[in-house]
A = this chain, B = another copy of it.
Amino acid sequence: MRVVVLNTGTELLLGDVINTHLAFIAQQILALGLRVSEQRTVPDGDAIQNALRDLFPRADILFVTGGLGATSDDLTIELTAACLELELREESEVREAIRKRLSARGVQMPESIWRQALVPAGGEVLPNKSGTAPGIYLPANINRRIASPHMFILPGPPRELQPMFHEFVMPILQRVASASGDVIVRRFRVARMGESVIEEKIGGELAGIGRLEIGYCARPAEVDVRVVGSPKAVARASEIIRAKLGCAIFSSNEEQLAEVIVRLLAERGETLALAESCTGGLLAHKITNVPGASQAFRGAFVTYSNEEKICALSVSPEALRQSGAVSERVAVEMTSGARERTGATHAIATTGIAGPGGGTTEKPVGTVFVAIASLNGETSCEKLFFPGERETFKELVAQHAFDLLRLRL
Contact = CB atoms under 8 A, between A and B. Distances in A.
A12 interface: yes
Contacts of A304: 288, 293-294, 297-299
Q: Indicate how many identical chains form the complex.
A: 2
Contacts of A16: 23, 187, 217, 224, 226
Given A15-B23, A294-B305, A341 B357 contact: no
A17 interface: yes
Interface string A197-220: 101100100010000011111111
Interface stretch (A239-247, A316-324, A383-391): A383-391
A35 B22 contact: no
A141 interface: no
Contacts of A394: 285, 288-289
Interface residues of A, number: 108
A291 B356 contact: yes
B288 A216 contact: no
A287 interface: yes
28 contacts: A13-B26, A13-B37, A13-B38, A16-B187, A16-B224, A17-B217, A18-B18, A18-B23, A38-B41, A38-B42, A69-B218, A73-B214, A108-B194, A108-B196, A157-B218, A159-B392, A276-B284, A281-B288, A281-B302, A288-B304, A289-B391, A298-B305, A299-B302, A299-B305, A299-B312, A300-B301, A311-B342, A312-B341
Interface of A: 9-20, 22-28, 30, 35-44, 47, 69-73, 107-110, 112-113, 130, 156-157, 159, 162-163, 185, 187, 194-197, 199-200, 203, 207, 213-220, 224, 226, 274, 276, 279-285, 287-289, 291-294, 297-305, 308, 311-312, 341-342, 354-357, 388-392, 394
